[in-house]
Structure 1
C-alpha cells in the first residue's frame, strides 16, 4: 500500500478512537490495528459496491436508450412511470427519473436507512445523467427483441445497483413499506403496483404496448433475480437419522460441505424426555441437491429430511454465488 495513503488511514483510525474515548489517553499501535483493519474493510466494500452501481447504471441506461425509449416502450416500477410520463408530457426522461423516485427515496430514509437512501440518490442521479448525456446506439426495431432485451439490460442494471446497496427503481422501497404495514409479500405489492402501471399504459398508449411492457417487466424481474440471487439457490437441509455419523462423514468428506449437529428430543416415542436424536443441518446449492439425496439414500433410505430455501449466507464451506 502507498505509504502516504497508509498514513492517511492510520490518522483516520487514530481520530476515530480518540473521538470514542470517554477518558483521554495515549492511543497505541495496538489500539489502532483493529480500527485500521475495519476502515480498510469499509473502503474495499465501498469500492466494490461503487463498481456494481456504476456498471448497473450504464446497463440500465443501455436498456432505456438502446431499446425502450426510441420505440416508446414502457416498463414496470418507477422506471415504467417515468417512461409513461415521458410519452405523455414534454418532460425529459432524465428529469422524470429523479422526480418520480424522490418520494420513494424519502420513504427509504425512514424505512431502510439514511446511508441506503443517499446511495440510491447518487445512483438515480447518475442514471439520469447517463440517460441525458451518453449516446447509445439503437439496437433493433423488432418489438419482441425490444421488450425482452430492453428488460434484460434494465433488470441487469437494477440488480447490480441492488448488489451495490442501492436502488435505481424506488418501487421496491414502497413494496417493503407496504408489506410491513399490511403483512403481504413484497412480490404481491410489486405485482399490484405494476398492474396499475400497465393498465394506465394500455389506456394512454395502447393495449399492444402494455402487453409488450409486461414482457419487458418479466424479463427485467427474472434478470434481477438472477443477479441478486445467482443461478443457484441455497437450500438448507435438515436430516434426522440413526446413521447420523455416517451421514456427517459423507457430507464433510464426500461432498466437501460443512454441517452442524445438534441434539434433539423425539416427541412421539420418547415423548420429549431424552435427547435421543442427533440432527444434522447443512446447506448446499440447488444443483448439488440431487447428489446429496442420492448419497443419503445410500446410507439411510428412511432418513427424515426437511428442506427450505436460504436467501443468502456468509462464511462456511459453501460454494459462492456469482459476484460475491
Structure 2
C-alpha cells in the first residue's frame, strides 16, 4: 500500500476517534457562555443594521418618488442611471433599479464579500418594493427645492443603508473594484462615472436638467458624508516634543483626555546624539483643535505636530470626558 495513502487513512481514523471523544465530554457552562454572548452580539448588530437599512429604504424612496421621479430629475450613480433609463423608456423605476444594480451586486460578491452582497440585494429589493407600492406625496414643483431636498433624502437613504452594512447604489462597488485595477482613487472613479451620466442626461433630456442633477448629486453626497462620518469630525494628533512628559500631564489633567505614549527614534542629528523619543498620540474633535494647539504652545512652541482625519473610532474616553 502507498505510504502516503496509509498515512491519510491513519489521520482520518484518528480524527474520528477524537470526534467521538469530544461528543462524550460534557459541555460545561464555561464553554456555553462565550457562544451565547456571540449570538447576542450578532443578533443585536443584525437588528440595528436592519433598522438602518429600513430607514434608508423609506428615505430614498421618498426622495425618488416625492421629488425626483415626478419632475423627471436624475442623480448620479446607479440611481441616476435608473432614473435616466426610466425617463427614456417605458419601464417602471422599481424594475430598472434592480436590473441596473445586478451587475454591481455580482461584482460585490468578488470585491467585498457574499454577506455584504446579500444584504445589498435585500436593501435594493426593499427599495424597489417601496418605490412600486408606496404612494409618496409629491412635495413641490420648484426645481431648486427638488434638486436640493431630493438629493438630501436620497443621500440620507444611501448613508443609512451604508451604516447598515449594505448599499442601495452599486456604483461604489464598481469604484472600489476599478480603483484596485487602475491608478485612480475611489473618488476619481465615481467622478468619472457621474460625468458620463450627467453628459448623457444633458444630451437625452436637457442641459438644464443635467445642471440640476449635479446639484442633486452634491446634496446627496454631502448628506452621505454627514450620515456616515457623523456630526463630529475626529482628528488624530501625533505630538513629538522634548517636553513630552509636561504635555502628557497637560492632556490628561488639564484637558482631561486619554492619550497614548509610545517609543520612537529620531533620524536627524549629529553622530553620538541620543535619538530615542517619546511620541504622544491623542484623538480630539476638530472644534477642540484650536485649544489643544494653544495648550501645546504654552509647553513647547517647537513641538512637532502631525494631524490627520480619523474616519471612525470606538471606545476610549472621546465622549465621556469632553473639554470644558
The equivalences for 1:1-324 within 5 A come to: 23-24=22-23, 25-269=25-269, 274=274, 276-319=276-319
1:278–1:21 CA distance, 2 compared to 1 (3 A): farther
CA contact (8 A) 1:263 1:275 kept: no
Report how far residue 274 of structure 1 moved.
Answer: 4.1
- Gaps of at least 5 residues in structure 2 are 1-18
Corresponding residue number in structure 2 for 1:10:
none
> Cα deviations across residues 131-172 of structure 1 (Å, max 9, x unaligned)?
111111111100000000000000000000000000000000
What is the count of residue pairs matched by the alignment?
301
* 3-state secondary structure, aligned to 2:301: coil
Distance 2:84 2:307 in 1: 43
1:265–1:74 CA distance, 2 compared to 1 (3 A): same
* 3-state secondary structure, aligned to 1:23: helix
* 3-state secondary structure, aligned to 1:199: helix
Distance 1:311 1:223 in 2: 16
Corresponding residue number in structure 2 for 1:6:
none
1:309–1:203 CA distance, 2 compared to 1 (3 A): same
CA contact (8 A) 1:68 1:147 kept: yes
1:272–1:173 CA distance, 2 compared to 1 (3 A): farther
> Cα deviations across residues 174-203 of structure 1 (Å, max 9, x unaligned)?
000000111311000000000000010001
Distance 2:288 2:173 in 1: 34
* 3-state secondary structure, aligned to 2:22: coil
Distance 1:73 1:222 in 2: 18
CA contact (8 A) 1:108 1:114 kept: yes
Report how far residue 319 of structure 1 moved.
Answer: 3.0
* 3-state secondary structure, aligned to 1:166: coil
Distance 2:235 2:286 in 1: 6
CA contact (8 A) 2:64 2:150 kept: yes
Corresponding residue number in structure 2 for 1:15:
none
- Gaps of at least 5 residues in structure 1 are 1-19
TM-score by length of 1: 0.90
Distance 1:111 1:245 in 2: 46
CA contact (8 A) 2:267 2:275 kept: no
Distance 2:169 2:81 in 1: 10
TM-score by length of 2: 0.90
Q: Whose Rg is larger?
A: 2
1:252–1:65 CA distance, 2 compared to 1 (3 A): same
